[in-house]
Amino acid sequence: MSRLAEAVDAGKAAAAASGGRCDLLAQGPICIEGGKKVLAADAAPRGMLTHITFDDAHGLDTSGYHNHAVKAPAFGPGIGGVGHSARYVGTGGAGTADYTEISHHASYAEALDTFTLEMWIYLRQDSTGEWRTVMHKGSKDSDRTPTIFLEPLTRGLEFFVSTTDATQPDGERLWSNSFVPLGRWTHIAAVAEGHSLRLYVNGLLDSENTTVGTIVHNTGPIYIGGDPWRQGGVDGFVDEFKVYNRALTTDEIQADAAFALNGVEPSFVELGCMGTGCDLEAALASCRAGYHLCNLRDHYSGGYLVARTMGWSTSNSHVWSKEEADSGGAQATSWSGDAPSATKTGLGLCCADNE
């Protein structure tokens, strides 16, 4: 009896120390049927405030903070064919919006100006000409800490936060260089750290910016897949939604996104340049120290795969190569429909130098 009393007292002390995160406390694994079945919990990740796997029937939060979905979402296939995801049909606006709602928790605002959002997204619909909500926290449209939209005319991402800068009432933003492809899973991570905003796509640091003002939080709920104000949301699936009260490191984000690049090392390829300003000379000049304009071997070793996965290229894109640069543009090593030397712009990929 004395050992039982000690265990109960220890449990009470641990419950008080947990700050209300735990309903049941045990000093070790729980054994069932004389040890035939052992239940051992995963370690609580440092700084995690919300983690919805969408693998259960209710959209439950496994972080310990009880940030469960208000209403169970419709379910779709999970990433890698494992478990389930939340399925959305892309409708938005009052009365017709399709989204998952998570009530506000004080821990979100306590994160102050440092936090991380992570999720996987699978799009079934191309750009619509309207802003589409991926996730939005706020009690009104102008509350934007944090918010991720799909751009109206592309499948590019924009990461918003509300700040003290009065000249930007709709929030300060960071837009992606990458475009979310259709019909495949894409990992997104949005990081705020002080005045720094960073956006990762498939584990690659896609873009970063510095805010003018200080981040301002709100007490509104989190909406995933849509919101009550936009005319559109995600037509597709969202999986493994996570919120942290700290800035995840690049290594941590790449570990979570490892599935996205099909085994290609995230640091192997970087975006050099693309679009109308990316001629051969610009492509050569776009690579930083330690990187070079990818050659054909680099392209076939993962460059082409990463470019398609990140939405940088399509089947008709011209991708510059070191061989083209060495020939002065006299030979075309990437088919774009034009004859050699006729191609004026393309996509410049930078590959890591061999050690």
144 with 162: CB under 8 angstroms?
yes
Percent of the chain with pLDDT over 70: 87
Average predicted confidence (pLDDT) for the chain: 90
Q: Which of 75-79, 193-197, 226-230 has the lowest mean pLDDT?
A: 226-230
pLDDT, position 14 = 54
pLDDT, position 329 = 64
Q: What is the pLDDT of residues 15-54, one digit of tens each?
A: 555 556 666 677 777 888 877 888 776 777 899 999 999 9
Confidence of residue 13 (pLDDT cuts 50, 70, 90): low
Q: What is the pTM for the complete model shown?
A: 0.87
pLDDT over 90 at 252, yes or no: yes
pLDDT, position 34 = 78
Q: What is the pLDDT of residues 330-341, one digit of tens each?
A: 566 655 555 555
Instruction: Read off φ and ψ for residue 245, nearest 5 degrees.
Output: -95, 25
Cis omega before residue 146 (within 30°)? Answer: yes
Residues 130, 121, 223, 51, Cα dihedral to 10°: -170
199 with 121: CB under 8 angstroms?
no
The alpha helices in the chain, defined as continuous H runs, are 2-17, 106-110, 250-256, 280-285, 296-298, 304-309, 322-326
pLDDT, position 8 = 46
Contacts of 147 (CB under 8 A, 6+ apart): 133, 135, 136, 137, 138, 159, 160, 161, 171
326 with 318: CB under 8 angstroms?
no
Tokens of 62: 């496994």
Confidence of residue 342 (pLDDT cuts 50, 70, 90): low
Q: How many CB atoms lie within 10 A of CB 331?
A: 12
Q: What is the pLDDT of residues 313-330, one digit of tens each?
A: 988 889 999 999 998 865
Would you call 91 helix, strand, or coil by DSSP?
strand
Output 22 or 232, whichever has higher pLDDT: 232
Contacts of 246 (CB under 8 A, 6+ apart): 46, 47, 111, 114, 115, 116
Mean pLDDT of the 212-236 span: 94
Which of the following CATH numbers is that of domain 48-261: 2.60.40.1180, 2.60.120.200, 3.40.50.720, 3.30.420.40?
2.60.120.200
pLDDT, position 19 = 58
d(CA 271, CA 273): 6
Residue-range domain boundaries for the chain? 2-39, 48-261, 269-352
Burial of residue 22 (CB within 10 Å: 0-12, 13-18, 19+) is middle
pLDDT, position 97 = 77
Specify the pairing of strand 30-32 against strand 196-201: unpaired
Tokens of 19: 């700050």
Q: What is the pLDDT of residues 74-87, one digit of tens each?
A: 999 999 889 999 99
- Scan for tokens 């939340």, then name that residue: 86
Of 316, 243, 229, the residue nearest 50 (C-alpha): 243
